[in-house]
Amino acid sequence: MVLQAGKGQLTTSVVRVLVATAVPAERDAVAGAFALPGAEVIAAGVGPALAAAGTATALTRAALEGAPYDLVVSAGIAGGFAPDAPVGSLVVADEITAADLGAETPDGFLPVTELGFGTVTHRPPEALVREIAAATAARPGAVLTVSTVTGTAVRAAWLRERHPTALAEAMEGFGVAEAAGAHRTPVLELRAISNPVGPRDRAAWRIGDALAALADGFGKLAPVLESWNPHDQ
């Protein structure tokens, strides 16, 4: 609920939330559990580009209709960095970072920011992240966005070395956050862990368990967002 001052009196309005998932199975898991009136859940596609395009389109449409969103949430399954984010657990991002946006050089990886461009990190509202962690038992930490799913222990160790607070990697959060940032709208990322980040073993991904954990988390989210004031960043 948002308190708004108008014509000398205080009125209330519902917090409008857009949830961007990658695939229909994630969208349906979230939509079936998220009891927040006025929330919209979309499946924008896999990867940061589709995530950004789908999120920006939904945000623009809502703004043109005169009912802009107050909050955008990137949600879905993810790889978890062992041992801190085990399969079936939930992670809420305190930092959404593009981990492979940059340039490879003989001296190592350079993020685009060191090349003089753009940004690689978006930070969700701190207090809201704390409240969501308490309500859902999600662990707070960095969630990395990658365009290539990690498939080796060497790559997993490299990512963790560069991002010591990383708990998970997925493929959409940074794209969703860039779109939200362009609309000056706060962003969250909530992920359920389906597999460890490391040597590729697609057959071992526990997608059903992760979707159940995602639904469980969204089932506990509505009261937190209903009492959130978007002006408290």
Ligand X SMILES: O=C(O)c1cccc(C(=O)CC[C@H]2O[C@@H](n3cnc4c(=O)[nH]cnc43)[C@H](O)[C@@H]2O)c1
Q: Which is nearer to ligand X, 36 or 171 (CB)?
A: 171
First to last CA, the chain: 15
Q: Minimum Å distance from CB 173 to ligand X?
A: 8
Site map 64..103 versus ligand X, x via CB under 6 A: ------------xxxx------------------------
Q: State which of residues 52, 75, 128, 146 lies at the interface with ligand X (CB under 6 A).
A: 146
Q: Where are the beta strands (DSSP E) in 116-163?
A: 121-122, 139-145
User: What are the C-alpha distances in Å from 182 to residues 6, 59, 122, 179?
Assistant: 27, 10, 12, 5
Contact between 149 and ligand X (CB under 6 A)?
yes
- For residues 145 and 99, give the distance between their C-alpha atoms in angstroms, rounded to a whole number: 6
Would you say 15 or 42 has its CB closer to ligand X?
A: 42
CA atoms within 13 A on the CB side of 46: 9
Provide the token pair at 172. Answer: 């959409």
**Is residue 23 close enough to count as binding ligand X by CB under 6 A?**
yes
Binding window for ligand X (CB under 6 A); candidates: 103-111, 125-133, 166-174, 215-223: 166-174
Judged by beta carbon, residue 175 or residue 186, the one nearer ligand X is 175
Nearer to ligand X, 136 or 194 (CB): 194
Q: How far is CA 174 from the centre of its chain?
A: 8
Q: Identify the H or E element spanning 67.
A: none
Report if residue 25 touches ligand X, rule: CB under 6 A: yes
Q: Which is nearer to ligand X, 185 or 195 (CB)?
A: 195
Q: How far is the CB of 204 from ligand X (least distance, A)?
A: 11
Interface characters, 193-222, with ligand X (x: CB under 6 A): -xx-x---------x---------------
Residue of the chain from 2, 46, 53, 137 that contacts ligand X (CB under 6 A): 46
Q: Are 118 and 182 in contact (CB under 8 A)?
A: no
Cβ closest to ligand X, residue 147 vs residue 224: 147
| Distance (Å, whole) CA 52 – CA 49 | 5
Extract the tokens encoding 219: 């089932």
- The secondary structure element, H or E, covering residue 100 is none
What is the CB neighbour count within 10 angstroms for residue 26? 25
Residue type, 145: T
Query: Which residue minimizes CB distance to ligand X?
Result: 79
Please report, as ranges, the residues that interact with ligand X according to CB under 6 A. 22-23, 25-26, 46, 76-79, 146, 149-150, 169-172, 194-195, 197, 207
